[in-house]
Structure 1
Amino acid sequence: MPTGKSSLPAAILFAGALLLSACDEAPKTENSPPPAPKISVAKPVVKKIIETDVFTGRFEAKEDVELRARVAGYLQEIHFKDGELVEAGDLLFTIDQKQFQAELENAQSSVEVAQSRLDLTKEEFERGQKLRTSGTIAASVQDQRRQEFLAAQAELAGATARLRTAQLNLGYTKIYSPVKGRIGRNLISIGNLVQANSTVLASIVSLDPIYFYFDVDERSYLAYSRLGRNGTRPSGRLTPYEVKIQLTDEDEPKHTGNLDFVNNRIDNATGTMRGRAIVTNTDLFLQPGLFGRISIPGSNEYEGVLVPDQAVGTDQNRRIVFVVGEKNVLTPTVIRPGPRIDGYRVVRTGLKGDETIVVNGLARVRPGMTIDPQVQELPPVAAKD
C-alpha cells in the first residue's frame, strides 16, 4: 500500500509538466508564418506572328442589276420563278411584240422601195454620163440625174438605219439576264404597261465572288500609311493581303478572301476610309447584306511574345503581369497589350519572352508576395473554351 500512495503524486507532477510544456509551445505555433500559396506560372509563348486588326462591315454583291425595258409596251410573259438562280443570257421577260413586228415589216418595205429607187437613179445617171460625152444631153440634165442618184443613196441609208432601229426595238421586247446570280421577285404582273427605261421589272445580284466592304478608322489608316512609307508593311492598294471574315454566329473567322480596293479619300462625315475584300463563294452561302468582322494584317511577320488573357491584370489605367523573381517573389511589370492571336494576347512592350509569369490566380497575389510556383508549359495555340 505505501507504494501506491507514492505513485499518485508522481503521476500528478508528470501531467502538470506536460501541461506547462504545451502552454509554452502554443504561442510558437500561432506566430509561425503560413506556407507560400501555390500559384500557376509559365513562360510566355514566343513564336512568329502577324498582328491582325478587326473591323466590321457587310457583304455586298459584286454585280447588282435592276432590270428595265428599253421599249414601252404591255408585259406578255414572265419566264422565271421568283428567287431562283439564273444564268447570264437567260430569257426573263417578254413584252408584246405585235407593234414592233409591224414596225419592222414597214421598215423592211421602206428599204426595198429605197433600193429600187437607187437602182433606177443609178442607171439613169450612168446613161447620162455616156450621153454627156457625146453632147447629146445638157449638163444641167446630167447634174439633176446626179443629184437624184445621191438623194436615192441617202434615202436608202436612212431606210436601212430605220430598219436596224426596228430590229433592235423588236429584240428589246425580250429581256435577258445580263449576269449570273439570284433574281428577286418580279415587280410587275403580266398585262401591265411597261415604261421604257423607267419601270423596274426585277433585280439580280451576283453571288460568286462576293464583296465585303468595311471602314477603317482614321488612326488605323494613318498607322498603315506610315508602315507602308517605312517599308515595314506594303500598302493595301498594292498588295492583295489575305483576309479572314467571321460571321455573327461563328466563334472564329472561317471565310477567306483578299483585299482588292482602298478608297481614294477619307469620308468627311465618319472619318473613316472605305476598304473592300473579294471573297470566293462557290457554295453561295454568303449573301449580300450579311454582317461580319474582317481581320486584316496589321504588321509583317515578326517574333512575338504572347500571354493568356487571365495573366494580364489592371493597375488603374495600366496593364500589368506578375513576374516571378529571385526567391519566388512577385514583381508587377507594366506591359502594352496588342490583339489576340491563337487564343493569346500579344505583348507589344514590357516582356522579352524569357520571364516566368503568373498565368492563373491573379486575385490571390500582390506585389512582393512570395509564392510556391507551380510551373506549367503553355501550348503554342491556346485551347478553346
Structure 2
Amino acid sequence: MLTVHSVCRMAERPLAPLVLASLLALAGCGKDKPTGPATRPPVEVAVITVTPQAAPVTPEFVGQTESSQQVEIRARVSGFLERRVYAEGAPVKAGQVLFLMDKKPFEAQLQAARAELTQQQSRLVVARQNLARVQPLASQNALSKKDLDDAVGQEQTAAAAVEAAKAKLIDAELNLGYCTITSPVAGLSSFAKLQEGSYVSPQNSLLTYVAKQDPMRVNFSLSENELLRVREDVNAGRLSLPAESNFQVEVQLADGSKFPTRGRITFSDASFSQATGTFLMRAEVPNPKGELRPGQFVRVRLIGATRPGSFVVPQRAVQQGPRGEYAWVVDKDGKAEQRFLSVGDWIGDDWLIYKGLRSGDRLIVDGGLKLAPGAPVKITAAAAHAPASGAQAVAAAPAPSPSSQAPSQSAAPAAPGLPLELYFDSGSALLPDDGARQLAGVAGWLAAHPQQRVALSGYADKRGGAAANALLAKRRAQGVRSALLVGGASEAQIELRAPQNITGGDADERARRVSVLPATADAAQR
C-alpha cells in the first residue's frame, strides 16, 4: 500500500531517462532492421572514342597590313600647281593623271631650246663649208697649216655645240612632260599635300601617295621564346612543320571574320630586333577586291604545322580542378576513371590534348559533372562532335545496345563528290586550297559513317626518275590521308593503294593527282 511518504519519494526520482528509453523502444517496434548501404544508380553519360591524330597547330599573331608598293608622288620641276585631277582617296590606275602644273614657262623654255639648236646647226653648216674650202688649199700649200687647224677646230666646236643644243632640247621636253604628273602604279590614292595654286619646289615636292593594294603585305613578329619553343618541339618530334616551312597564312579581321583568301610568307628578317627582341616576318595576301587597307590591325594564323600523336576533344569534356585539367573516361568495368591531362591550344570549340589519353579511350563528354572515381556509368548516346576549322581527332562511339547492329555499307548514303581527283602543282606535295575544301565533305561523311572506307592512289608526271616519282606520289597520297584524318576520318577508314602505273598513262597535267575512291571500287576504275 502506497503511503504519502512513498509517493513523495517516487516523485523526487528523475523521470527523464525512463521516458527516453520507453520512447526509443516504442520507435523501434514494428520496423525491419537495415540490410546495408543503398546502391548508387549508374550515371547516364555520352561518350566518344578517341584516337591519336596529327592535330593541326595554328599559332596566332597580331599583325598590321602594309601596302606591297607605296609610291610617293613628287613633282620633278619647280612651278605653280595648276590643277588636281584625281579624286582624293579614290582608286587610281597606272598612268592616270593626278596633277597638272603650269606649262607656260616650260613651253617657252622648249621653244628657246629649239631655236638654239637651229642656230647651232647653222653654225655647223658654215664651219663645215669653211673646212671644205680650206682643206684643198692647204694640201697645195696655198694656206698655212695653222689655217687648216683653225678650220678643223671651228667645225668640231660647232658640232659639239649642236649636240649640247640637242641635250637642252631634250631637257626642255622632259620638263614640259613633267608638268603632267601621273601615277606609276595602280592603287589607292591619298589626299593632296598641296592645293591648287601652290608653288612647288624641291623642298615641298611631295604631292600625295599611291598605295598598291594587290597583293597586301601583313607584318607580324615572332618572339625569341616562341622561336626557341618551336625548335625544341620540332627536334623532339612533337611538332611537324610543312615542307620548306611553306606555311599558309590566314587573316582574321577586327570583327572576327576571316579574310576570304590565304597568303604565303615571303620574308623573314635575318636578325632579331634589338629594340623589341622579336623576329620580323612578312606575308603577302592576294587582295583583288581591295578589301584590306594599309595600316589595319589583324590577326595572323599560320596553317600547315601538325602535332602528331595528339587528341582533339570537345572543350566540354575537359574540367578543371585543383591539380589542373582532367577528364573522365569509361574503364573496362564500365566505371568512371579520372585522367589528368596536359592540354594545349584551343581549336575553335575543341581542345588540343598532348598527354593523358590513350587510343581507344571512351571519353565522357556529357554527364561528367555527376561523376566520382569508380562510379558506375551507363552509356546512353554517342556525343555529337563537329570540331571547328576542319580539325577532328575523335570518332563518335555508338552507344552499346544488344539490339543495335552496324548498318551495312549498302545502307549508307553515297559519299559526296566521290570518286574525286585532286590535282597538284608540278613537283609539289602541298594540298591546294580547293582540294582541302573538297576533302572536308568526304571527311565529314566518313566521320558520320564509321563503317565506310575510301582508297587513295597517288600519281606523278614523267619529269622525274622512277624512284622520285614513286616517292612524290606517295607523299601526295599521305598528304590527302592526313587531311582526311584531321577532318574526322579514322585510320581504319583510309587505305593507301599503290597504282599499277605511277604516271597514270596520262598527260602531265592530269598525272599530278591523287584519286579518292570508295574502298569497294574495282581497281579497274583507278
The answer, yes or no, to whether TM exceeds 0.5 is: yes
Change (3 A) 1:368 1:217: farther
Residue in 1 that maps onto 2:225 = 219
Aligned to 2:266, which of 244, 260, 263? 260
1:227–1:234: 8 Å Cα contact kept in structure 2?
Answer: no
Aligned to 2:72, which of 55, 66, 82? 66
Change (3 A) 1:33 1:227: closer
Structure 2 unmatched runs, 5+: 1-27, 391-526
Amino acid at match of 1:86: V
Tell me, yes or no, if structure 1 residue 280 matches structure 2 residue 286: yes
Aligned to 1:188, which of 194, 205, 210? 194
Query: Aligned runs of 1:1-12 on 2, under 5 Å?
Result: none
Residue in 2 that maps onto 1:112 = 118
Question: Secondary structure in 2 aligned to 1:215?
Answer: strand
Residue in 1 that maps onto 2:249 = 243
Q: Deviations over 1:67-86 (max 9, x none)?
A: 21111111111111222221
Amino acid at match of 2:276: T
TM-score normalised by length of structure 2? 0.62
1:224–1:233: 8 Å Cα contact kept in structure 2?
Answer: no
Whole-Å separation in 2 of the counterparts to 1:147 and 1:316: 103
Q: Deviations over 1:163-215 (max 9, x none)?
A: 11111111111100111112122232211112236332222222222111111
Whole-Å separation in 2 of the counterparts to 1:138 and 1:39: 124
Residue in 2 that maps onto 1:149 = 155
TM-score normalised by length of structure 1? 0.83
1:307–1:344: 8 Å Cα contact kept in structure 2?
Answer: yes
Residue in 1 that maps onto 2:216 = 210
Whole-Å separation in 2 of the counterparts to 1:304 and 1:225: 18
User: What value does the CA root-mean-square deviation take over the aligned residues?
Assistant: 2.9
1:260–1:278: 8 Å Cα contact kept in structure 2?
Answer: yes
Query: Aligned runs of 1:11-22 on 2, under 5 Å?
Result: 20-21=29-30
Whole-Å separation in 1 of the counterparts to 2:311 and 2:182: 58
Whole-Å separation in 2 of the counterparts to 1:287 and 1:180: 14
Residue in 2 that maps onto 1:43 = 49
Of 92-101 and 200-209, deviating more is 200-209
Residue in 1 that maps onto 2:165 = 159
The Cα of 1:227 is off from its aligned counterpart by 7.3
1:42–1:375: 8 Å Cα contact kept in structure 2?
Answer: no
Amino acid at match of 1:349: K
Question: Secondary structure in 1 aligned to 2:130?
Answer: helix
1:53–1:298: 8 Å Cα contact kept in structure 2?
Answer: no
Whole-Å separation in 1 of the counterparts to 2:111 and 2:183: 27
Residue in 2 that maps onto 1:365 = 371
**Identity level (%):** 27
Change (3 A) 1:301 1:33: closer
Tell me, yes or no, if structure 1 residue 24 matches structure 2 residue 32: yes
2:223–2:277: 8 Å Cα contact kept in structure 1?
Answer: yes
Whole-Å separation in 1 of the counterparts to 2:114 and 2:351: 78
Aligned to 1:271, which of 277, 285, 294? 277
Structure 1 unmatched runs, 5+: 1-18
Change (3 A) 1:304 1:225: closer
